[in-house]
Structure 1
C-alpha cells in the first residue's frame, strides 16, 4: 500500500477548489486546507486558519508541518508569491499554483497559444505596484498572475508548476454570474454587447479542472501547463446553449466598437493549446459535448 501523500491546499473553499479537496481525500491523501477561516473544509481534512498575506501568521499556522505537494488556489499577486516562496522553502517537494489563461492577454495570435508564449522566467516583477488595491488588482488580474508565476520560477530550489486554467463553466455553485448574464438578457430580449471582431476561447468544465488538478498532484512535471478542454467556443455558441433553456426569450447580439462587452466576448483569441498536458497523460473532454450540461447545471435546470 502506498504511503498517503501530504497535500496542502491554500484556499479550496469554493467552486473547483472544494472539488479538488474532495478528490484528494477520496484518493486517500492526507489533506490540509489553509484559509482565513471563512469556511471549514470537509470532514477528514485538517483546517489551518491564517492570512496568507501575513508571513508571520502563515508561519505560525504551519508550525513545523511539511508537505509533499502544495496547491495554491488563491495566489493573485507577486507579493503573495514572494511570501509563499519564503515560507514554503524547504517545506514542500513541489508547489502547484493555479494560474489563468489571462497570462496570455498580450499574445496576439489566432493560433492556439502554447506555454512557451509566456516564460515566467523572463517576466519582470514589480512588487511596488499597488497590489493591495482591489480595484487595481481586478484590472490587472492577468498581470498579477503572470508576475506571481515569475516569483516562483525565479527559485530553482522550489520545484514549481503553474496550471494555466481556461475559462471555467458548469456547476450549480458558479459564483461568477457570467452565464446568468446571458440568460437574463435572452429572457428579456435586452441586447448582448459583443465586440465587432468577436473571437472564440477555450473552456474547461468545473469537474474537469478539479480532475486535472488532482491528477497534477500525483505527477512530477514542472513549469507551465495549459488546462483546457478540446475545442473553441464563441459567444454565439454560448448564447445558443443558454437560449435552449429560455425558450420564451430572444437573443439579440449588439456589435460595439468601444465600451464594455458581455462576459466571454473577446477582441482577441483566448485559445490555449493543451498538447503538453495531453502528452503528459491527461485526457481532456470536448467542450461542445459538455457545454449543454454545464449550462443546465449553472442555470438550475437539471442535467
Structure 2
C-alpha cells in the first residue's frame, strides 16, 4: 500500500508514520523538511509546501497513492487546496479534524461520532467543522473518497499535556513543579478527561488506511482510560518526582487574564468528555489503547531529561501563571 502523509512528523503523526513503515507500507511524506529527526527510516520525503499548490503539484508529478492523509489543513481554504490537488489521485483521503468540534456547551458527557458539531468558543474548532462540511460535500456530490478522523488530547514524548502549559516550551510546567511553585488547574480539577498516547492512536489509525469501508465515515480514536484533571496533574508530578502544589480557579477567571485560553478551556477542557470508542473498534477490531497515562507521561519526562536542549522555559507563561494565582488568592480574601 502506497500512502502519502501531508505532514507526517508532528506530535501525533510521527507515531503513525513510524508504525506505517514497520507494517511494510510504502510511506511518502510531503512536507517542508523542518522536522527530519521524526522521519522514520524507510519513508521517502517529497520536499514541498502544500500552501504553494503549484509547487506541490510539480513536486508530486504524476504520482498516485492508495491513501492520502492530510494532517495539516486547518481552514476550509487549505482543505479545498488539498481536495483539488488529490481529487482523482487517491483511493482514500483521510482528513484529520479534531474532537474539539463536538458540541460545546456539552449536553451529555458521553461523546459519539454522531454528537452534534458546534463550538462557539473556539475558531480553530469552527474551522475544522467547516473543513469537514466542505469535504463531505465533495464526497456526496463528486465521490471524493473521504474518511474523517477526530483526535482528542493526544500526546507523545515531545509534549507534556495539561490544560494549562506553554505550547512551545512544555517543560515549563515540570520546571515549575520541581521548583515548588503553585500549579494552576481550571475549575476544581474534577471534570473528566481522556489522554491518549500517540502510539496507541497510531494502532487504531493504521487500521483505517486502505479500508474502503471507512469512506464516508468519521472516527475518533482515544484511550478508554478516564481521569480527572487533578489526577492528570498529579501523574505529571509523580513522573517528575514531586507532589505538585495544585491551586484552582474557575475557567472564566483564568480566561479573563488569558483570552487565548478561551478556546482550549471553555471550548474544550472545562467540561467532562468521555469518548465512545465502539465505532473504531468495529472497523479495527484489534484496536486497544494499552498505555496508561501514568506510564506514558513517565516516558515523556525521561525523553525530555535525555534531551536537555528541549527543556526550555517560557518566562512569559510563568509570569502569567503567577499573576492569575496572585489575583485568585486576593479575590478569595475579599
Q: TM-score range by the shorter chain?
A: 0.7 to 0.9
Which residue of the partner structure matches residue 291 of structure 1? 293
Supply the distance in 1 between the matched residues of 2:286 and 2:133 (Cα, whole angstroms): 25
Determine whether 1:142 maps to 2:125.
Answer: yes
Which residue of the partner structure matches residue 69 of structure 1? 67
Segments of structure 1 that go 5 or more residues without pairing to the other structure are 124-137
Q: Are the counterparts in 2 of residues 198 and 266 from structure 1 also a CA contact under 8 Å?
A: no
SS where residue 21 of structure 1 aligns?
helix
SS where residue 154 of structure 2 aligns?
strand
Which residue of the partner structure matches residue 7 of structure 2? 11
| Offset from partner CA, 1:176-234 (integer Å, 9 cap, x none) | 78474543443323141312585222221111112222221142212211111113221
SS where residue 47 of structure 1 aligns?
strand
1:208 counterpart (192, 200, 207)? 200
Q: Are the counterparts in 1 of residues 31 and 50 from structure 2 also a CA contact under 8 Å?
A: yes
Offset at residue 68 of structure 1 (A)? 0.5
Q: Are the counterparts in 2 of residues 192 and 254 from structure 1 also a CA contact under 8 Å?
A: yes
Supply the distance in 1 between the matched residues of 2:56 and 2:32 (Cα, whole angstroms): 10
Moved more, 71-80 or 218-227: 218-227
TM-score with structure 1 setting the length: 0.81
SS where residue 125 of structure 2 aligns?
helix
Q: 1:212 to 1:19 in 2, by over 3 A?
A: same
Aligned pairs for 1:262-277 within 5 A: 266-277=269-280
Q: How many residues align?
A: 278
Q: Are the counterparts in 1 of residues 12 and 155 from structure 2 also a CA contact under 8 Å?
A: no
Which residue of the partner structure matches residue 154 of structure 1? 137
Supply the distance in 2 between the matched residues of 1:201 and 1:76 (Cα, whole angstroms): 24
| Offset from partner CA, 1:23-76 (integer Å, 9 cap, x none) | 222222211110023244334222212221222122111111111001111111
Q: Are the counterparts in 2 of residues 243 and 251 from structure 1 also a CA contact under 8 Å?
A: no
Supply the distance in 2 between the matched residues of 1:248 and 1:30 (Cα, whole angstroms): 44
2:282 counterpart (279, 283, 290)? 279
Aligned pairs for 1:86-101 within 5 A: 86-101=84-99
Instruction: Give the structure with the larger helix fraction.
Output: 2
TM-score with structure 2 setting the length: 0.74
Q: Are the counterparts in 2 of residues 239 and 251 from structure 1 also a CA contact under 8 Å?
A: no
Supply the distance in 2 between the matched residues of 1:142 and 1:91 (Cα, whole angstroms): 28
Supply the distance in 2 between the matched residues of 1:90 and 1:250 (Cα, whole angstroms): 53
Cα-Cα RMSD: 2.8
Offset at residue 244 of structure 1 (A)? 1.8
SS where residue 244 of structure 1 aligns?
helix
SS where residue 38 of structure 1 aligns?
coil
Offset at residue 111 of structure 1 (A)? 2.7
Q: Are the counterparts in 1 of residues 195 and 293 from structure 2 also a CA contact under 8 Å?
A: no
1:253 counterpart (235, 247, 252)? 247
Supply the distance in 2 between the matched residues of 1:175 and 1:13 (Cα, whole angstroms): 17
Q: Are the counterparts in 2 of residues 189 and 249 from structure 1 also a CA contact under 8 Å?
A: no
Which residue of the partner structure matches residue 132 of structure 1? none
Moved more, 148-157 or 84-93: 148-157
Segments of structure 2 that go 5 or more residues without pairing to the other structure are 306-334
